Structure formats: C-alpha cells, structure tokens
Amino acid sequence: MDISLAIPHRPPFLFVDRVAQMDDKRIVAEKDLPEDLDFFKGHYPHFPVMPGALTLESIFQAGAILLSGHMEDKGNAGVPVITRVRDAKFKNMVFPGDTLTLEVELTGRVGPAFYMKGKAMVKDKTAVTVQFTCALVETGKGPR
C-alpha cells in the first residue's frame, strides 16, 4: 500500500513506514525508529526515549490509513482529524532502534465520527493503549 496516497502526512511528520495487514475494521502497521531521528537528539539526550505524544500520533496515523479505505468506498471527501482522546495509558517506553507495531480497530461510526481503539507495541510488549475519535473535515475548511 502507498501510504502517501492514504494520508496527507509527510516526513518528518510521518510515523508509519508500512502496512502489514488491513481489512475494513483493523490495521496492523509498523514504524522503524532509527537512532538518528531528531526527537531522540533532544528528548532526554542522555536517555533517549520516544515522546509519548509521538507514539500516540503513530497510532492516530495508522487509524487514518484505516479510514482512508472507508472514505474511498463511501465517496467521502476530507481528512480525518482527532476530536477526542480517551484513556491513554503509557505502559512501556519506546527507544531508538525499536520497531513500533501499531494496531488500530474501528469500533463504531456515527455520521462523520469514527470511534477507534489502538495500541503500540515493541516486541510484543504493549507501550501505549488509547481510545480515540476522528471526524472527517473537508480540506481547505480549517481556521485561518
């Protein structure tokens, strides 16, 4: 799958490298975390760890890739934006050299709102779990 066709994110703010599995309700994706990423240089330089907010962003981007299939199938226009984050739990740290495995499941939909739950893992150990909601927003409709 060409991720650049599914979501608008681009390096250096793209946190999904590949999709391992995907169907209508679930995605498994991966992100490699080489030691030379900029955020590792400044986030605890003597004990580099991936910021929790960026681990969440990785999950959210995997969720957006999952939703891209729903948008194409339904003829919906727009991009998914986060509207709610609930129950984020940080269980293990993520370090340089790790590979994040991102799992997101679509749990429901009401109109333009998509309800999801996700987790990030490293070597089968859960790093983060979260429930979140996205809504579709037309491109060009943001505040200015």
Tell me the catalytic residues.
43
| Cβ within 8 Å of residue 129, ≥6 positions away | 87, 88, 89, 91, 117, 118, 119
Q: 132 vs 53, 88, 106, CA distance in Å?
A: 13, 9, 10
